A and B are shown apart, each in its own frame.
Chain A
């Protein structure tokens, strides 16, 4: 049985929005790459080793996310334009509870 898919809206820095479906279990970084969303570089391919997949999570969705790991927290210290809403999208897994999540993308992933 193919995995369930849920909606994610990625909004580029320019304001251009892309609403796509991402399979359960995939990371929100992979969802962006799969759908050619510009603005997520993901150099390391999801190993939480590069901090180039930063997203800003819309306030109403933040509480639904798991807390940041030590690794993610530190990686984020090195990403450009970090805000309280910042997360690394490679660390966020798609699931029913995130159906409809809205993510804003930074201007650049490289400081």
Chain B
């Protein structure tokens, strides 16, 4: 009899697994369970074009509705998984149903980290992770409104850019001394700080938020000992992996569901992929990646592994962020100890920062510089040695370096 596969989590990783399993010739039953009201959709546009209003909801969905029937995938929405019964190989759902599986894939993703400070529960304090979150924010996201953004990371800054464009009065509070400190090098942080200031965004660095105050709804933010009036608050301070289901089932979780390079957990019948996982990356360190690339690539590897076609996951991680007319594209994982090589002039709003480690490119951060990003990504993958002077020399086309 054909095997059955159950996928818990209907996001980018889950749908990629469905697609890859069918592509690889899996003929058994596939059931995918999601706790949101929507079939798998793209999250990146949520804080960008979707919030801006230039990208309608139907365009967010990763597959057409008809896809699921055609692919033989039963999609169960508005439903969460309550428990995994590993011995019986069954997943108990919130709707009372128990799904039997031969193989189980956990693509439970991540949830927003909540701010724990006085007033954090006040109305008007928003987070951004789901369509429902953006729809809620959208309703109050109007020209002239004062928005306080807590967290100067990708989400906070993308919302700041959209807010500035839409005529909101935007203030960003960041506890660290620079923007996107977890994601980009200081040169990029400084560049983006200037761009946001040019657009009228007020930046409060080294300023942790202490409390929200207001009568029934948020009216001011207390940060760095000062009070700032605000109509809306958007908190973007990172995500935490949804690992409780795996943890309760006795699978090893350490800030992420631990998987090997084939996306396998310690249970031979259970795999996991995407934001919820932690794995040993291509550089030999344990990492938890929160990005589309990891969702796609790890889910592909999970699908292969579930079909006994094991292939080691070693793709170069990549990320992107759109703020104003600036496209930031990053490949590889930089370290503070890397040697930084700048190519192009940030003042031209088109440049790249290469991170050299042991003479090879370990990471590239490119702003409006597609060739630098694409070739840079290849250089990271190949690990080929390259001179800093060559990378910095604009008279040498990137193509010649591949």
Contact = CB atoms under 8 A, between A and B. Distances in A.
Interface of A: 26, 30, 33-36, 43-45, 47-49, 69-71, 73-75, 77-78
B235 to A, nearest CB: 25
Interface stretch (B61-69, B77-85, B275-283): B61-69
Interface residues of B, number: 25
Contact of B296 (A33, A43, A47): A43
B57 to A, nearest CB: 13
Q: From DSSP, what is the main secondary structure of chain B's interface residues?
A: helix
- Among A30, A36, A45, A70, the one with the most B-chain Cβ atoms within 10 Å of its Cβ is A45
Contact of A34 (B44, B64, B292): B64
Contacts of B399: 77
A44 B64 contact: no
Given A47-B44, A73-B370, 6 more contacts: A33-B63, A48-B370, A49-B318, A70-B370, A70-B371, A71-B370
Nearest to B41: A45
Interface of B: 42, 44-45, 59, 62-64, 66-67, 70, 292, 296, 318, 320, 322, 327, 329, 370-371, 373-375, 378, 398-399
Contacts of A69: 370
B370 A45 contact: no
Given A71-B370, A75-B374, A78-B378, A36 B66 contact: yes
A45 B62 contact: yes
A47 B318 CA distance: 12
Contacts of B62: 33, 45
A42 B378 CA distance: 19
A75 B371 CA distance: 8
